[in-house]
Structure 1
Amino acid sequence: MAKISSDKLWELAAAEVQSLENGTADGGGGEEVGERTVFLMGSKTGGKTSILLRCLDRDEPAKPTLALEYTFGRRATGHNTPKDIAHLWELGGGTSLSDLVQIPITPASIRSLSIILVVDLSSPNALWGTMEKLLQAVQAQVEKVASQVRQAEKSRAGPKLQMSVPSTARDLPKDYPDRELISPFPLPLLIIGSKYDLFQALSTDKRKVVCKTLRFLAHYHAASLIFTSIKSESQMSKTKIYFSHLAFNVDTGKTMSCDSSKPLIIPAGSDSLSQIGSPPTTDVDITSLHARNPKDLWKKVYEQIFPPESISEQKEMKDPAKDPQYSEPQIDAMRAQKDQELEQYKKNAAKSWKGLELDT
């Protein structure tokens, strides 16, 4: 098989992007898009890679995601018909690498982009902070992309992108529950509560708090919510259905479970504020909490029960150059030599500065 040069690969990639922008990839009409993009992010070591591999039916060990990784999935739509393609991005490092959201969220991808947020149910103290920071990063990037497209339209440089970017205020059906009281996320959003098997070790009261809070957050953002564990085939099969809905537009069905003693399964639009109820009661008087909006009130109550962790994830990040799965003996040896040369240079530079200070 002949090798393709890197320059040729870039030309092919550029041609593919151009075809998407010109509307030739989906026939140029109003037909269903055959390519979708799904962006996974969430808690550090929350099981994102394991969940993704299971949803793709890939029997391979999960490796730590150090930054941002790309893969894809395919699904046949019928006999002798082209396969639907899902472009899949996964962000590693929890919240420490949230700046990388700018790579998968672009004017070319945003029309068919969905978000999957995986939160570790076994670490409730870090749950709210992780969710809040990552969703804010995505929302800011969506607004930035929308602004770029508006500027391009003004300069008449990118008229074909006009239909590629949704409004930053997502439209909902007029009969959507609590439509006037919630703040829909600008992109389709699925929240997955992972490690449900470990979550069951928490006390009943604490599990109820987490369940109720996640129900509120999912409904507030017009998102779907599902709890799962990679150790349960039944739970993973249901999770795969929701994943396939975003990746390949598969119907999720009408299964729903709001019982806090069981894994939650709540499709977007099937819950309501009246069913969820008020924030969980605590020893602190809710009326004494100064909240700007309902979401802020839920946050303050939740953090009274699960104080946020103050450990910096950035400090915990491992150096990819020292990760054994990426070892390259020759390159590593050269890197070690250059590190030694750098240290020696620093020492010599320090001596020179000390000498200047003495002369002064």
Structure 2
Amino acid sequence: MATLLDKATEIVDKIITQSNEDTSRTIFAVGSKSAGKSTLISNFLEKNEAPRETLVLEYSFGRKSGQKQGLEKIICHVWEYGGKLELLKNVLTSVPLHSKSYFIVMIDLSKIKTIWNTIETCVNCLKPYVEKSSSKDLLLIGGKYDLFNNYDSEIKKIICSTLRCVALINDAHLIFYSSKEPQLMRRVKEMLHNAAFGNGVVIKEKNVNLNKPLIIPKGFDSWESIGIPKSTMDQVKMRHVARIPLEVEAKEITNFELQRSHPEPILDSLAALKYEDIRNMELFDPSINDYLMCL
């Protein structure tokens, strides 16, 4: 038989859980390097300092008074991942996500050969977490639209078609953005503000004209509108890479010789072994050569 203390504990736990669901949100942003993630988040949170490069994972938050005359605070936890995309799956397991979570994939539209790898890696990693979230919102944001707009119409048609297909298959919002264009910046900022402190992602506009910045809320696109038969992600990938080849990663030089020698030969040997150990570390991002020159 439950005691009075057990009942009281159950009631308190229920209140705390309900409060956390109502007053805590999470935004998780990932994508191409230098696509504008930090600038967008800084602008959204109205930070005064200039955004700096995100090396691995950074946390910030925003807070706003709720409906109860300032007694209740809504907190939005913002996580930005700027490390290697192939390690994203490992990082996500350590990030505390709330029931209302919004996931952003930022795509650098100016680097067309990297677009598919960014989409495929990020969407595949995020999809299980999107499905667990009560908000179920995945946002594909095409950054650097100001540069993308200078491409010829055929390239823009291919990229726009690919992104619309991916958004349709994964039930995602699609919006183009540039930190250089105040109107586009303001539009995305308002969208994030409503997700963080309002009633979720609200996009009232729609544009599928490739000569203007795309903005397509989830559920408002169709295969007929895109102009291709219903497809899978693999089929979309085949069509995309047939027209825009993927970027080939430069192979790492394995036969590296240290330029600085030490007074004792044994020290050179130890330094070479140390270099080999560090080179094989997946999580080591800084310049290895610079590090070893300091030994």
Q: TM-score, normalised by structure 1?
A: 0.62
- Out of 227, 233, 242, which is 1:304 matched to? 242
Distance (whole Å) between structure 2 residues aligned to residue 253 and residue 347 of structure 1? 61
Q: How does 1:16-165 map to 2 (within 5 A)?
A: 22-27=13-18, 33-78=22-67, 79-98=69-88, 99-104=90-95, 106=96, 109-139=97-127, 142=129
CA shift, 1:26, in A, is: 4.8
CA shift, 1:85, in A, is: 0.5
- Secondary structure of the residue aligned to 2:16 is coil
Task: Write out per-residue CA displacement over residues 172-217 of structure 1, whole angstroms, 9 at most, x where no aligned residue.
Answer: xxxxxxxxxxxxxx94201100000000111111111111211111
Aligned position for 1:208: 157
Task: Write out per-residue CA displacement over residues 324-345 of structure 1, whole angstroms, 9 at most, x where no aligned residue.
Answer: xxxxxxxxxxxxxxxx89x955
> Structure 1 stretch 77-86 or stretch 261-270: which is displaced more?
77-86
CA shift, 1:137, in A, is: 2.3
- Whether 1:191 and 2:140 are equivalent positions in the alignment is yes
- Out of 264, 274, 282, which is 2:214 matched to? 264
Q: CA 1:349/1:218 → structure 2, altered by over 3 Å: closer, same or farther? A: closer
CA shift, 1:94, in A, is: 4.8
Distance (whole Å) between structure 2 residues aligned to residue 55 and residue 226 of structure 1? 16
The structure 1 segments of at least 4 consecutive aligned residues displaced by more than 6 Å after TM superposition are none
- Secondary structure of the residue aligned to 1:119 is strand
- Secondary structure of the residue aligned to 2:22 is coil
> Structure 1 stretch 110-119 or stretch 258-267: which is displaced more?
110-119
Counterpart code for 2:269: K
Aligned position for 2:269: 347
CA shift, 1:40, in A, is: 0.3
Q: Contact 1:43/1:94 (CA < 8 Å) preserved in 2?
A: no
Q: CA 1:94/1:203 → structure 2, altered by over 3 Å: closer, same or farther? A: farther
Identity of aligned residues (%): 31
CA shift, 1:77, in A, is: 2.7
Distance (whole Å) between structure 2 residues aligned to residue 306 and residue 220 of structure 1? 20
Aligned position for 2:225: 275
CA shift, 1:223, in A, is: 0.7
Q: Contact 1:244/1:250 (CA < 8 Å) preserved in 2?
A: no
Q: CA 1:111/1:278 → structure 2, altered by over 3 Å: closer, same or farther? A: same
Q: TM-score, normalised by structure 2?
A: 0.75
Distance (whole Å) between structure 1 residues aligned to residue 75 and residue 92 of structure 2? 21
Q: Contact 1:41/1:94 (CA < 8 Å) preserved in 2?
A: no
Q: Contact 2:141/2:174 (CA < 8 Å) preserved in 1?
A: yes
- Secondary structure of the residue aligned to 1:190 is strand
CA shift, 1:92, in A, is: 0.4
Q: Contact 1:223/1:268 (CA < 8 Å) preserved in 2?
A: yes
Task: Write out per-residue CA displacement over residues 146-197 of structure 1, whole angstroms, 9 at most, x where no aligned residue.
Answer: xxxxxxxxxxxxxxxxxxxx866x89xxxxxxxxxxxxxx942011000000
Distance (whole Å) between structure 1 residues aligned to residue 107 and residue 163 of structure 2? 10
Task: Write out per-residue CA displacement over residues 100-156 of structure 1, whole angstroms, 9 at most, x where no aligned residue.
Answer: 12221x5xx25222211100010111111111112222346x4xxxxxxxxxxxxxx
- Secondary structure of the residue aligned to 2:183 is helix
Q: Contact 2:24/2:98 (CA < 8 Å) preserved in 1?
A: no
CA shift, 1:235, in A, is: 0.4
Task: Write out per-residue CA displacement over residues 47-106 of structure 1, whole angstroms, 9 at most, x where no aligned residue.
Answer: 1101111111223211111101111011223433322110110000351432312221x5
Distance (whole Å) between structure 2 residues aligned to residue 45 and residue 93 of structure 1? 11
- Secondary structure of the residue aligned to 2:75 is strand
Structure 2 unpaired stretches of 5+: 1-9, 253-261, 273-295
Counterpart code for 2:153: T
CA shift, 1:297, in A, is: 1.4
> Structure 1 stretch 71-80 or stretch 47-56: which is displaced more?
71-80
Distance (whole Å) between structure 2 residues aligned to residue 215 and residue 300 of structure 1? 15
What RMSD, in angstroms, separates the aligned Cα atoms of the two structures? 3.2
Q: Contact 2:25/2:98 (CA < 8 Å) preserved in 1?
A: no
